[in-house]
Chain A
Amino acid sequence: MSNALVDGNLLGIEGMTATEIEEILDLTDIFAEISQRPIPKVPALRGRTIATLFFENSTRTRLSFDTAARRLSADTMTFGAGSSSLSKGESLRDTVEVIEAYGADALIVRHPMAGTAQRIANWTDAVVINAGDGCHEHPTQALLDAYTLRQHCGSLNGLRIALVGDIDHSRVARSNVLAFTALGAKVTLVAPATLLPSSLAGWPVEVSHDLNAVLEQTDVCYLLRLQHERISEGLIPSVREYVNDFGMNEKRANLLPSEAIICHPGPTNRGVEIDAAVAADPRAVILDQVANGVSVRMAVLFLLLGAGRDLIESPTAEGNK
């Protein structure tokens, strides 16, 4: 797999080096500053068209990319596909060719099935950014999380991070494990056995089924969203039992070191993976994650579509764009 920015796409964290990730985080500082200005807008991508292709509902990620694109002065268009477009009448390739015909320079793709961004990248000359593909990857989430951790903890090197919850069905978990460990963090997956992947061969992580035992040695407690369908699928007995064992409440938050932080990719299930009181704890940085999401996505768009491309492509190739 070659996914990294050198291909001109952002398909996953898989294949990215620590240097490449840090380059994006460094660039994000600039866009975080721009976002603080009274008029948070620069003309970097004027005349460029960015299409969001969302084959799955997502208000937050779409809004975040849309905001990032507008702050860079790009034109945006939106393709929202209901479940009907996932039927076999029109193939994924057919859909992509239609969007490309509208003249998009970049396609931001969210899809409920793994590998779709990579498939689409094979069919188009436009830049492809993976905004979440099934249970596979969500690279901009991992970048914004890494940025947030760097902001609060200085460096990820040696940081002890607990990823808690439904790891198996989480693209956030897969991308975060890759990004956090690439940057030197020690990651522990904390989950009931049924919510872990069937194989963790090659994953540089520790595993625990006991959240209480992990918290005292945790610098970052990262909570994942629990989907209610995991109960109907028979993966866990009940929400009540999950909350008992893995819910972040005040008592558990007190087990964390005082300087630890609590993250969640949103949207949160209050009272399930996180209690309202903990979400209000100053150590919870959930809204920082949201704000940083816009800055990171500005950096990614700039790097892939703007002047940043000069750094990784020859002038001739740029002329072909």
Chain B
Amino acid sequence: MSTVIHGGTIIDASGQQQADVLIGDDGRIEAVGQNLSGGQHLDAAGCIVSPGFVDLHSHLREPGQEVAETIETGARGGALGGYTALVTMPNTTPTTDCAAVVEQIRTLGKNALCEIVPTAAMTIDRLGQEMAPLGELVDLGIGIFTDDGTGLQDPRLMRRIMEYSTGLSKRLGRPVILAQHCEVEALSKGGYMHEGEWSAKLGIGGQPAEAEELMVSRDIALMRLTGAHMHFQHLSTAGSVELVRVAKAEGLPVTAEATTHHFSLTDAACATFDPVFKVHPPLRTDADVAAVRQGLADGTIDAIATDHAPHTAHDKEHAFDLASPGMLGLETAFSVALEDSGLDLPDILAVMSWKPAVIAGLSDHQGVNVQPGAAANLCVIDPDATWTVSGQAMASRSANTPYEGRTLRGRIRHTIYAGEAVVVDGEAQR
């Protein structure tokens, strides 16, 4: 059955136009124009039609921690948030560090409400000791490797993995990207929030900004040595943003992401001792929030990512130090970006859709301009609608949103994945 998105304003990388979109049975856009008609009618009056969002950083917890999230529920949350592709992190159980787990995730993702794109670990079991079989994984089409959750501490092994990755680009057909969670553990150990005024006051061990910045700095130096392509995950400090800015000016092949919480919340939120605000890297200061926004505005930061990290209530009902770090993000990301990123709507769509699509190697079918022949991965946004965040009401198996009770502007109305209207009027269709 064909589908028509009627009455919306299309915004994509090529610009803006008022037009209907006709999607054919083959999951591709058949026509873009005025007064189109088709089988299923999706109203988009007053709404924005955009290429679907691509999240570079989702923890969908499967296999291994299905009590907190599954690929099915995570993808449903993603679709409700306007995402048509989620890049999943490899800290599963077992770790996504070999062909078998990659295949399992892809199998589980086949019927999901958005595209599931696994990454794999750089080192076996993410232990930072032995290189994972990168070649075998590249042959499966894995283009991003990361030990996310921890940074790779050993500079010698990091150097070797970077060198090795450069030899695999031809096999992949594009540069292999190493994504780093930047945190020097010797400095962050014993820290559970940002080290500063608030940690001192609350008596909680702090992680200094320098724990992140030292690893960003190290990896930039090693990029010069090895020629590897790097992506820095969840930049959270003003110093990190500046280091990446300088590296980009130098012409190094580096990209970076920022999470919604790192430009919308500060360490002051930890004053309640509620571990819903505990996250790695930690919430930082007002100055860091401003620097992350500036990094997004000037293109230093290429993408808004969620670091969607579901945890059960049980795993958060501990002392702050002991509670699991992480926050939900998929269903709130767009609205928080609209409220707090400081970006205009077209720029938000760029850093949530077509720019991350390129980094993820998906740009032939995700984040594509809305034109005949393109894969129909789209979302329809009502920028004026308001809604109140409720963790319980989310599709996630967990409820750990830091925005609970907050009223946000901007709501995803419809999401179309591979031509199927998976979300219609804010409701997941399956």
Contacts and interface: CB of A to CB of B under 8 A. Distances in A.
A91 B202 CA distance: 21
A315 interface: no
A113 B320 contact: yes
A150 interface: no
A171 B271 CA distance: 16
Contacts of A123: 317
Given A1-B271, A174-B203, A198-B208, A115 B197 contact: no
A93 B312 CA distance: 13
A113 B196 contact: no
B272 A118 contact: yes
A199 B201 CA distance: 8
Contacts of B205: 135
A91 B318 contact: yes
Contacts of A197: 200-201
B95 interface: no
Given A135-B203, A171-B203, A174-B203, A93 B197 contact: no
Contact of B273 (A88, A91, A118): A118
B273 A200 contact: no
A66 interface: no
Contact of A92 (B199, B202, B318): B318
Interface string A188-207: 00000000011111110000
Nearest to B204: A114
A200 B204 CA distance: 14
Given A88-B315, A92-B317, A92-B319, A114 B197 contact: no
A252 interface: no
Contact of A199 (B200, B203, B273): B200
Nearest to B208: A198
B203 A137 contact: yes
B273 A119 contact: yes
A203 B202 CA distance: 12
B322 interface: yes
A147 B206 CA distance: 33
A115 B320 contact: yes
Interface in A70-113: 86, 88, 91-94, 111, 113
A199 B267 CA distance: 13
B320 A114 contact: yes
Contacts of A199: 195-197, 199-200
Interface residues of A, number: 30
A264 interface: no
A115 B200 contact: no
Contacts of B320: 113-115, 119
A200 B271 CA distance: 16
B278 to A, nearest CB: 11
B197 A201 contact: yes
Given A91-B314, A118-B272, A118-B273, A200 B200 contact: yes
A116 interface: yes
Contacts of A265: none
A196 B417 CA distance: 55
B286 interface: no
Given A92-B319, A111-B319, A202 B197 contact: yes
B189 to A, nearest CB: 10
B43 interface: no
A114 B322 contact: no
B317 A93 contact: yes
B317 A114 contact: no
A271 interface: no
A239 B195 CA distance: 27
Given A114-B273, A118-B272, A88 B196 contact: no
Interface in A125-157: 133-137
B321 A113 contact: yes
A114 B201 contact: no
A88 B203 contact: no
Given A86-B322, A115-B202, A198-B206, A91 B317 contact: yes
A135 B321 CA distance: 12
Contacts of B196: 198-199
Contacts of A118: 272-273
Contacts of B322: 86, 88, 92, 113
Interface in A191-225: 197-203
Contacts of B272: 1, 118
Contact of A115 (B195, B206, B273, B314): B273
Contacts of B317: 91-94, 123
Which residue, A1, A113, A118, A133, has most C-beta atoms of chain B within 10 A?
Answer: A113
Interface string B196-220: 1101111111101000000000000
Nearest to A96: B317
Given A115-B202, A171-B203, A200-B200, A134 B321 contact: yes
Interface in B27-85: none
Nearest to B324: A88
Contacts of A111: 319
A118 B273 CA distance: 7
A200 B196 CA distance: 9
Which residue, B200, B208, B314, has most C-beta atoms of chain A within 10 A?
Answer: B200
B270 to A, nearest CB: 9
B393 to A, nearest CB: 21
Contacts of A171: 203
Contacts of A203: 200
Interface in B86-118: none
B200 A134 contact: no
B2 to A, nearest CB: 51
Contact of A198 (B195, B274, B321): B195
A86 B196 CA distance: 26
Contact of A116 (B197, B206, B208, B319): B319
A321 to B, nearest CB: 25
A88 B321 CA distance: 12
Contacts of B321: 113-114, 134
Interface string B168-212: 000000000000000000000000000111011111111010000
**Top 9 closest A-B pairs, CB basis?**
A115-B273, A135-B203, A197-B200, A136-B203, A113-B319, A93-B317, A91-B317, A114-B203, A201-B197
Interface of A: 1, 86, 88, 91-94, 111, 113-116, 118-119, 123, 133-137, 168, 171, 174, 197-203
13 contacts: A88-B318, A91-B314, A91-B318, A92-B317, A94-B317, A113-B322, A134-B203, A134-B321, A135-B204, A136-B204, A198-B196, A199-B196, A199-B197
Given A113-B319, A119-B273, A202-B197, 6 more contacts: A1-B272, A86-B322, A115-B273, A118-B272, A136-B202, A136-B204
